[in-house]
């Protein structure tokens, strides 16, 4: 248990959440869950900090979530940016916040509407999880986001990275956290080449990240790391020749040759074509449910009618397969499945005939 939780003593999750929020808000002293700044940065750390902050100042993109300190808006942006590039996220981010302008609005919305607003962004499960997080904030935290990493981690679906991002980008706390791009930049800068395999563990890179967070400038620093990884020190084509951190970069002497050597041999075998993958069909099912008329959407659609909308040449033999896809969506909260046959009529459709079920958005 953390020192802060120690101070509070044992209590239920709900009241602990509320109390942690209250204590975090009312504490005049610095937060007790101090994550960054455990080690004193060296002179060369300071040089790296200054160079990267200067680079960010000169190169930062004006992104809407960088103008916000609202934890709800930060949460939405962070979830959308998982596995999706900035230029794709931008229109969805604006439209989503217009539809659900507050955590209360998102929590109160019909899940079907949330999934519809997410349409086209992909990985629809993120939308359902995001709404679960919103509901928790509203129901269990009285609508107030926790502010510390430790208390943010209690929100369903919020891991170490997202908790750190909200604590830093909404509440401007000096915390360190790493995602794939930040890990790559820190590894190259402070440890060495990261291909074919990183030589440092995530824990070791995170320790470096904590040491490097400049006191009082964590927001700029972490945004800078993210931007640097997106624009300058990219995975396959880092712009080393024009990099302002060349002199400090441990990977610089060999990164270009290491990447050149590794690319032909490590190119991933062609993945199972996306068009044939289960994920593809999950997306097709959600899209088909989304596009139903209001009447059909309310009633639901059976597998025989849904099949041809999802897969050309669909036949009854494909019903068990489609049933599995639909059940997977149901387990993830992306679809609702209901039986649609009169009770006690064993003749209809045979035993457990999955074609009798009706599917609709939740
Ligand atoms: S020199 Fe190259 S590898 Fe090193 S930080 Fe700059 S862009 Fe990244």
* Residue-wise pLDDT tens digits, 46-96: 999 999 999 999 999 999 999 999 999 999 999 999 989 999 999 999 999
129 neighbors 80 (Cβ within 8 angstroms):
no
Distance 165 CA to ligand 1 centre (A): 24
Strand-pair partners of 358: 302, 338
Task: State the Rg of the chain over Cα.
Answer: 24
Each residue of 333-355: pLDDT tens digit?
888 887 654 444 333 334 444 55
* Phi-psi map region of 157: left, alpha, beta (phi>0 left; psi -120 to 50 alpha): left
Give the Cα separation of 67 and 81 in Å (integer).
16
- What percent of the chain shows pLDDT beyond 70? 81
Residue 68's CB is within 10 A of a number of other CB atoms, namely 16
Backbone angles phi, psi at 215, to 5 degrees: -55, 130
Domain 3-248, CATH = 1.10.340.30
Atom index in ligand 1 nearest the CA of residue 243 equals: 6
55 neighbors 245 (Cβ within 8 angstroms):
yes
Task: For a ligand 1 pocket test, name from 185, 233, 259 the mutation site with the most ligand atoms within 8 angstroms of its C-beta.
Answer: 233
Distance 57 CA to ligand 1 centre (A): 18
Atom index in ligand 1 nearest the CA of residue 246 equals: 1
Distance 45 CA to ligand 1 centre (A): 15
Residue 170's CB is within 10 A of a number of other CB atoms, namely 22
- What is the dihedral sign for C-alpha 111, 112, 117, 122? positive
Task: For a ligand 1 pocket test, name from 52, 228, 249, 260 the mutation site with the most ligand atoms within 8 angstroms of its C-beta.
Answer: 249
pLDDT above 80: residue 37: no
Atom index in ligand 1 nearest the CA of residue 249 equals: 4
* Nearest-CA residue for atom 8 of ligand 1: 233
Determine the average pLDDT of the residues in 152-176: 96
Q: Can you spell out the DSSP letters for 335-359?
A: -EEEE-S-TT-TTSSSTT-GGGEEE
For the chain, give every domain's residue range: 3-248, 274-360
Contacts of 318 (CB under 8 A, 6+ apart): 307, 311
Give the Cα separation of 178 and 201 in Å (integer).
12
Residue 154's CB is within 10 A of a number of other CB atoms, namely 16
* Nearest-CA residue for atom 2 of ligand 1: 240
Each residue of 313-332: pLDDT tens digit?
888 878 888 888 888 888 88
pLDDT confidence of residue 93: 97
Distance 162 CA to ligand 1 centre (A): 26
Catalytic residue among 78, 147, 150, 227: 78
CA angle (282 as vertex; 279, 286 as ends), nearest 5:
140
Q: For all residues of the chain together, what is the average pLDDT?
A: 83
- What is the dihedral sign for C-alpha 185, 186, 192, 197? negative
pLDDT confidence of residue 339: 64
Give the Cα separation of 186 and 72 in Å (integer).
28
The verdict on whether 78 is a catalytic residue reads yes
Residue with tokens 């441990």: 250
Contacts of 61 (CB under 8 A, 6+ apart): 86, 227
pLDDT confidence of residue 296: 83
Distance 257 CA to ligand 1 centre (A): 13
Distance 280 CA to ligand 1 centre (A): 36
Distance 261 CA to ligand 1 centre (A): 17
Each residue of 45-60: pLDDT tens digit?
999 999 999 999 999 9
Distance 259 CA to ligand 1 centre (A): 12
Give the Cα separation of 33 and 151 in Å (integer).
10
Task: For a ligand 1 pocket test, name from 227, 234, 239 the mutation site with the most ligand atoms within 8 angstroms of its C-beta.
Answer: 239
Least confident of 23-32, 169-178, 348-357: 23-32
User: Where is pLDDT greater, at 209 or 298?
Assistant: 209
Both tokens assigned to 105: 């609005």
Determine the average pLDDT of the residues in 189-203: 94
Q: Say whether 131 sits in a helix, a strand or coil.
A: helix
Give the Cα separation of 137 and 190 in Å (integer).
38
- What is the dihedral sign for C-alpha 150, 115, 143, 102? positive
Pocket of ligand 1 (CB under 6 A): 188-189, 232-233, 238-240, 243, 245-246, 249, 251-252, 255
Give the Cα separation of 307 and 323 in Å (integer).
10
Task: For a ligand 1 pocket test, name from 194, 246, 247 the mutation site with the most ligand atoms within 8 angstroms of its C-beta.
Answer: 246
Each residue of 255-276: pLDDT tens digit?
999 998 887 655 555 544 555 6
pLDDT confidence of residue 6: 36
């Amino acid at each position: 248990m953390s020192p802060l939780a120690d101070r509070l003593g044992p209590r239920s999750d709900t009241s602990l959440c509320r109390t942690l929020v209250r204590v975090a808000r009312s504490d005049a002293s610095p937060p007790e869950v101090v994550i960054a700044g455990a080690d004193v940065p060296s002179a060369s750390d300071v040089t790296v900090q200054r160079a990267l902050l200067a680079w960010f100042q000169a190169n930062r993109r004006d992104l809407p979530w960088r103008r916000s300190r609202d934890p709800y808006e930060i949460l939405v942006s962070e979830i959308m940016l998982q596995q999706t590039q900035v230029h794709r996220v931008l229109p969805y981010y604006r439209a989503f916040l217009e539809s659900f302008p507050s955590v209360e609005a998102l929590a109160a919305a019909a899940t079907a509407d949330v999934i519809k607003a997410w349409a086209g962004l992909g990985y629809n499960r993120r939308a359902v999880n995001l709404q679960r997080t919103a509901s928790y904030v509203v129901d269990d935290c009285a609508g107030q986001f926790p502010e510390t990493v430790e208390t943010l981690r209690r929100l369903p679906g919020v891991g170490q990275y997202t908790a750190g991002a909200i604590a830093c980008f909404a509440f401007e706390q000096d915390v360190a956290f790493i995602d794939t791009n930040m890990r790559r930049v820190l590894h190259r800068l402070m440890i060495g080449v990261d291909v074919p395999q990183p030589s440092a563990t995530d824990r070791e890179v995170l320790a470096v990240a904590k040491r490097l967070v400049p006191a009082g400038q964590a927001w700029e620093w972490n945004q800078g790391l993210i931007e640097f990884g997106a624009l300058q020190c990219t995975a396959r084509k880092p712009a080393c020749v024009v990099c302002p951190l060349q002199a400090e970069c441990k990977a610089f002497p060999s990164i270009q040759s290491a990447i050149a050597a590794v690319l032909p041999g490590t190119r991933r075998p062609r993945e199972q074509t996306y068009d044939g993958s289960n994920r593809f069909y999950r997306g097709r099912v959600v899209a088909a449910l989304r596009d139903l008329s209001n009447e059909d959407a309310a009633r639901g659609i059976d597998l025989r009618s849904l099949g041809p909308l999802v897969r050309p040449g669909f036949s009854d033999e494909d019903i068990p397969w489609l049933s599995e896809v639909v059940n997977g969506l149901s387990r993830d909260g992306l679809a609702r499945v209901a039986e649609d046959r009169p009770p006690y009529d064993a003749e209809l459709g045979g035993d457990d005939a999955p074609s009798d079920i009706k599917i609709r958005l939740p």
